[in-house]
Amino acid sequence: MLRPFRQVDVFATTPYDGNPVAVVLDGGSLSSEQMQQFAHWTNLSETTFVLPPTVAEADYRVRIFTPVSELPFAGHPTLGTCHAWLSVNTPEPGRDVIIQECQAGLIPVRQTPQGLAFAAPPLVRSGPVEPKLIERIASLLDIAPTDIVDAQWVDNGPGWVAVLLASADAVLDIRPRPHELFLGVVGPYPAGAPQAFEVRAFFPKDGATVEDPVTGSLNASLADWLLRTGRARAPYIASQGTALGRRGRVHVTVDDDGVIWVGGATLTCVTGEVEL
């Protein structure tokens, strides 16, 4: 069966500078096994499947797959899926918020001057990281434990644990060893720089460790940590993907109700149909 398909670049203003997500706009009748098989075939960090919502408040439901497993939530797939959904659906006049249903719950997505932005979901795990794990992370990053300024569990679904280094340059210098963690690394740029932070994200895949070009879920949970501890002030821009030759830019804002919004540009790079 031919199904409408989009491949969307997320968090970049020019094509192929961000993080791509594959979006199957009609996932109806597909089994979980078929979805996983297709996600493994695309070999992108995430592939999504759009389905009818199960609650009246939602505009659509999405299932999110990495090449090896399903995720309850992920950031750049949320923005890319909403972008693809809007390419074939027109909301009622005056509506500026789209509601996505996923395993993590209902995620509002709105249009901003910088592009689509999602409301950061609540953390499922937070708090300080145990000292033995900090030592292990330092070893995996081939740095001294004293090079880690702070560490925090920042898990909003995928399982993120994050470490703060002294500078963006220190973040760009790391060369991680293979590991099984969902690991985020962040460091500040000097005052006055166009971006406030450099972010890198690493996760396991097929026995190896891969780097994600630009990661919405990690940036959302990092924002919660950095803003709460006074290390950042909103609005700010995070840079990610530099080490991979990408130019990802993640825009973080906070509204009057204290909700953190994470957004950026989205661009359709591939349009067509897939046989599924």
CATH number at residue 75: 3.10.310.10
Split at pLDDT 50, 70, 90, the class of 147 is: very high
pLDDT of residue 188: 98
Asked about 101 being catalytic, the answer comes back as no
Residues 112 and 136 in one domain: no
Residues 239 and 113 in one domain: no
pLDDT at 271 over 90: yes
pLDDT of residue 80: 98
Residues 133 and 240 in one domain: yes
The mean pLDDT value of the chain amounts to 96
- The dihedral of CA 262, 151, 64, 206: what is its sign? positive
Which positions ≥6 away from 77 have C-beta within 8 Å?
Answer: 10, 21, 23, 46, 47, 48, 62, 64, 71, 216
Residues 175 and 236 in one domain: yes
- Give me the residues paired with residue 258 across strands: none
225 within 8 A of 149, measured Cβ to Cβ:
no
Looking at the structure of the chain, the number of domains it has is 2
pLDDT of residue 122: 92
Residues 87 and 206 in one domain: no
Residues 149 and 175 in one domain: yes
Residues 137 and 90 in one domain: no
The predicted model scores a pTM of 0.96
pLDDT in tens, 150-178: 999 999 988 999 999 999 999 999 999 99
- Mean pLDDT for 44-60 is 97
Residues 67 and 45 in one domain: yes
Residues 229 and 102 in one domain: no
Residues 250 and 267 in one domain: no
Residues 21 and 58 in one domain: yes
Residues 142 and 66 in one domain: no
Q: Which position among 46, 211, 273, 275 bears the catalytic label?
A: 46
Rounded CA gap, 244 and 250, in Å? 16
Domain that holds residue 238: 125-261
